């Protein structure tokens, strides 16, 4: 009797556990949570003080006794116990405190090792999950982008997240060729921080670098239109004097800073294209490369990929929600997507 009762009330939950943001989908409700993947905890007691948006506000602003950090690095769990506690917190918030042995489907990088997969399953089980299903991020992104993954036709998707860039060619519901490049949004932020320190002796934090990327970040500046130059006022600390400083930065400088991580992603795309069977490659030329994930919002990244690959590229609608939409569709239709589920 108790078993039937729990089965009746058990929720189906989808999680996109990203390096930068975590999104939660609840069956029949849709996307109910979108928060930064950040946790703040006491160094002495190890007690968690804040999770999500509240914890992100603390990044770079905490005293020595408190640490605010990202428990996910490059798409995989870097701190198991903190990640498990964070998942528990997000589940309680998404389910309004009613965590009753939910069925969970969670996205993982395409190239995740068995150890990394087991860590994700164990973290979800510890958070209260009854059953845990894994789905590779490129497949989830493709489902979320409404790509017919079961068709006998080649589709290329590049999911540009916070910690990883998932590059895949999909046909008949399977990954035909794929590569996980552990370069994405956070590496862009680090590149901006390095550039400002090297060129201007200006030290900025992670949150400021992210704001610069979002406001004036550009993958491909049009040299023929200097009048379109964008400027941003950036606040930081002078490396030599140690005093606060404000200066103006142009989008051209940020574009230069982003070239190295952009090239690493581009090399991954070219590698996957070189591994793709000719017939599927022809399909991709016809349909184009689909870009998803929060980092695909970087200005002109579609033009950059099109220019250097000679393959049309385009960003899907609402790219940040592409993976979680796919995870949600898969958890609600397990039988339809059984080939994609691990």
Q: Which of 46, 43, 35, 19 is nearest to 206 (CA)?
A: 19
User: What's the N-to-C CA distance of the chain in angstroms?
Assistant: 30
Asked whether 47 and 89 are in contact (CB, 8 A), the reply is no
Q: Where in the chain is the domain with CATH 3.30.420.40?
A: 2-137+323-332, 141-183+260-319
Q: Which fold has domain 185-257?
A: Actin; Chain A, domain 4 (3.90.640)
Q: Can you give the pTM of this predicted structure?
A: 0.89
Strand order across the 39-42 sheet: 48-51, 39-42, 66-69
Q: What kind of architecture, by CATH, is found in domain 2-137+323-332?
A: 2-Layer Sandwich (3.30)
- Positions of the chain with pLDDT under 50: 1-8
pLDDT tens readout for residues 7-24: 446 789 999 999 889 999
pLDDT tens readout for residues 159-208: 999 989 999 999 998 899 999 999 999 999 999 999 999 999 999 999 99
Q: What kind of architecture, by CATH, is found in domain 141-183+260-319?
A: 2-Layer Sandwich (3.30)
Q: Where in the chain is the domain with CATH 3.90.640.10?
A: 185-257
Is the Cα dihedral 162, 167, 171, 173 positive or negative?
A: negative
Q: Which of 198, 147, 82 is nearest to 329 (CA)?
A: 147
């Amino acid at each position: 009797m108790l078993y039937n009762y729990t089965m009746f009330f058990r929720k189906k939950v989808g999680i996109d556990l990203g390096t930068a943001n975590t999104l939660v989908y609840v069956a029949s409700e849709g996307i109910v949570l979108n928060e930064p993947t950040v946790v703040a905890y006491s160094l002495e007691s190890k007690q968690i003080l804040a999770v999500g948006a509240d914890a992100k506000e603390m990044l770079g602003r905490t005293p020595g006794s408190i640490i605010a950090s990202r428990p996910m690095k490059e798409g995989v769990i870097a701190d198991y116990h903190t990640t498990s506690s964070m998942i528990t917190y997000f589940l309680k918030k998404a389910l309004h405190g009613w965590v009753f042995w939910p069925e969970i489907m969670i996205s993982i990088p395409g190239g995740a090792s068995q150890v990394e997969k087991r860590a994700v399953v164990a973290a979800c089980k510890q958070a209260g999950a009854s059953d845990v299903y894994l789905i590779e991020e490129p497949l989830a992104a493709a489902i979320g982008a409404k790509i017919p993954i079961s068709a006998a036709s080649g589709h290329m998707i590049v999911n540009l997240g916070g910690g990883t860039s998932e590059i895949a060619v999909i046909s008949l519901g399977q990954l035909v060729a794929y590569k996980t490049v552990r370069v994405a949004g956070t590496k862009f932020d680090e590149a901006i921080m390095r550039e400002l320190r090297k060129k201007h002796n200006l030290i900025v934090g992670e949150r400021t670098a992210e704001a610069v990327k979002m406001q004036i970040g550009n993958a491909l500046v049009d040299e023929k239109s200097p009048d379109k130059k964008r400027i941003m006022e950036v606040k930081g600390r002078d490396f030599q004097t140690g005093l606060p400083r404000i200066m103006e930065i142009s989008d051209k400088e940020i574009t230069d800073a982003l070239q190295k991580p952009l090239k690493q992603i581009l090399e991954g795309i070219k590698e996957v294209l070189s591994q793709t069977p000719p017939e599927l490659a022809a399909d991709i030329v016809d349909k184009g490369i689909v870009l998803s994930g929060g980092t695909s919002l970087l200005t002109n990244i579609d033009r950059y990929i099109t220019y250097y690959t000679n393959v049309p590229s385009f960003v899907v609608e609402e790219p940040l929600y592409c993976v979680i939409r796919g995870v949600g569709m898969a958890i609600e239709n397990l039988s339809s997507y059984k080939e994609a589920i691990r």
